[in-house]
Amino acid sequence: MTSHTSEGTIAWPADLAAEFRAKGYWEDRPLGAYILDTADRLPEKTAVVDGDLRLTYAELANRMDAAAERLLQLGLKPDDRIMVQLPNGWQFTVLTLACFRAGIIPVMALPAHRQYELSFLTELSEARAIAVPDVIKDFDHQAMAEELAVSIPALEIILVSGTAKPLNVRLEEILAPVKDVSAARARLDATAPSPDSPALFLLSGGTTGLPKLITRTHNDYAYNIKACSIPTGVTEDTVYLGTLPASHNFPLACPGILGILFAGGRTIMLPSPEPRKAFAAIEREGVTLSTAVPAVAQRWIEYQQEAGTSQLATLEVLQVGGSRLPDEIARKVKPVLGATLQQVFGMAEGLINTTRLDDPEDVICTTQGRPVSEADEVRIVDEFGEDLPDGVPGSILTRGPYTPRGYYRAPEANARAFTPDGWYASGDIVERRPDGNLIVQGRDKDMINRGGEKISAEEIESLVYRIEDVTMAAAIAMPDQVLGERLCLYITVKPGREVTLEQIQDLLRRTGVAAFKIPEHLVVVDELPTTKVGKINKKDLRADIAERLAAAGVHAK
């Protein structure tokens, strides 16, 4: 039977799917089954730590199944979608696992998203429920969810972590344990989702307009998790600190929270990577593995250099990825933090590359590693799609058992990002060394990578055009020492008119756009440079902003 979501999803060709099964990449088990395995094997071991709250595997499995049943009792059905916008905490983990068990599909929104992104994602996914915190940093997520439900009638159920208003459902009640979970477990086992069905929706970084939904199936995601666990050396002794937003593929499944739970290790959930709290958690829990974007790794290095703590004694591996880690920062990780660096070049669309823990220092510090699976196919091609020799940078194309063949309900985006024979073009410019390791040299996609958060230039430009006095707008990446890149906006305005950065920031805030997407620098020019075919020449603009920054004495890189 094809489900609603399967219809919007492009499946792998049948012969390849058969091969992935035959080779054992796809084990034909739903994600929840792996968690139950661990819970049966290590019931008393601690699985999840969030502040003072500790859940053993038996308690986690109990809450997972109890919650799955309650979600179904609320009226949600298998294949229904639920928007998940939760900070890193035990609630995120239990709710996500409960969805996997019930066959309900979580849409992995970010805590930073606001009305603008959430309404788009809710409509596209046709979500019937949303899970939000009550208030974080003075922002009322519950009120935002209520506004969404008013404008989108299909969104019927609001789950609130913390203090829920009377008409909403308190998430913690849904996630509470039961005395005896065995009946629930048997019922859920009997109606377990098909392993080829969508398990979750991840969000694409997006180059064209708003984010796209990436369907990840139980089979492909389980393999993603298992394949990533090997080069990172995950065992039941792994103690993992998750501080990046858990709805990102990287901290969720590369190997991330799910990889550690598959293996029987311990996960520590922290809503922010702020060094003082992160270091305290590392010391208290004896953390062995953590994940950072380059800006966070740099902050941790600076903090450690200043404070000279002895809190990191147990930290064995620090994974860094999401944007390009400068070689000079890479070289400081081991000497300063005492942990082995693992560079990770991955994407929510699938392919994950990592350096290996026993690689020579030159590989660890200057490359972004190689695919985690022997079944990952990678090609580096020129603008005509012809393969390039090692050492020559080109566009990366990839296929494999955990790289889906298309976005959800997005034929136009698929035509651009996927070749007819299923290769995904991420838009990264990559060089492959003769030893197989990849170096990310740049990208040919119109995106700003702000410390790992991806911003589509087109999305911002189309919003800025709402200001009547703006005649042309171009969003580009401006080099930045801390975040790698920030969003810089070039505009032209109607004669005699003035448009200020504050005005633009104000508009985007009022539109309910996530704060990380709000332009941080504005350059008003008389004319924007164009290419021979009349498109705005962003290469020239990037050179221009670099020049302006240098003239202003800002050393960006």
Q: Which stretches of the chain bind ligand OOB, using CB under 6 A?
A: 205, 249-250, 254, 321-324, 343-348, 352, 368, 426, 428, 440, 443, 449, 452, 454
Please state, in angstroms and as integers, the Cα–Cα distance from residue 537 to each residue in 381, 425, 530, 541, following that order: 23, 22, 5, 7
- Residue-wise burial string across 363-399, b where 16 or more C-beta atoms lie within 10 A, e elsewhere: bbbbbbbbbbbebbebbbbeeeeeebeeeebbbbbbb
Which CB atom, from 174 or from 320, has the smaller least distance to ligand OOB? 320
Q: At its nearest, how many Å lie between ligand OOB and the CB of residue 117?
A: 14
Q: Are 181 and 95 in contact (CB under 8 A)?
A: no
Which CB atom, from 197 or from 204, has the smaller least distance to ligand OOB? 204
Q: At its nearest, how many Å lie between ligand OOB and the CB of residue 362?
A: 16
What is the rounded distance in angstroms from the CA atom of residue 95 to the CA atom of residue 171? 9
Residues 6+ apart with CB under 8 A from 193: 30, 78, 100, 102, 103, 199, 218
**Amino acid present at 19:** E
Residue of closest CB approach to ligand OOB: 346
Residues 6+ apart with CB under 8 A from 409: 8, 124, 213
Rg (CA), the chain: 23
Q: Are 98 and 71 in contact (CB under 8 A)?
A: yes
Residue 427: CA count within 13 A, CB half-sphere? 19
Q: At its nearest, how many Å lie between ligand OOB and the CB of residue 122?
A: 20
SS3 217: strand
Q: At its nearest, how many Å lie between ligand OOB and the CB of residue 445?
A: 7
Q: At its nearest, how many Å lie between ligand OOB and the CB of residue 400?
A: 14
Q: At its nearest, how many Å lie between ligand OOB and the CB of residue 308?
A: 28
For the chain, give the longest Cα–Cα distance: 73
Please state, in angstroms and as integers, the Cα–Cα distance from residue 50 to each residue in 142, 253, 271, 528, following that order: 22, 19, 10, 50
Q: Are 222 and 31 in contact (CB under 8 A)?
A: yes
Which CB atom, from 46 or from 232, has the smaller least distance to ligand OOB? 232
Which CB atom, from 228 or from 491, has the smaller least distance to ligand OOB? 228
Q: At its nearest, how many Å lie between ligand OOB and the CB of residue 110?
A: 10
Interstrand relation of 484-493 and 521-524 (parallel, antiparallel or unpaired) = parallel
Which CB atom, from 348 or from 488, has the smaller least distance to ligand OOB? 348
Which CB atom, from 63 or from 113, has the smaller least distance to ligand OOB? 113
Q: Which residue has the tokens 């075919």?
A: 533
Q: Are 324 and 294 in contact (CB under 8 A)?
A: yes
Q: Are 432 and 397 in contact (CB under 8 A)?
A: no
Q: At its nearest, how many Å lie between ligand OOB and the CB of residue 323?
A: 5
Q: At its nearest, how many Å lie between ligand OOB and the CB of residue 102?
A: 26
Which CB atom, from 130 or from 203, has the smaller least distance to ligand OOB? 203
Which CB atom, from 164 or from 341, has the smaller least distance to ligand OOB? 341
Which helix (H) or strand (E) is 21 found in, with range? helix 14-22
Which CB atom, from 263 or from 347, has the smaller least distance to ligand OOB? 347
Q: At its nearest, how many Å lie between ligand OOB and the CB of residue 252?
A: 9
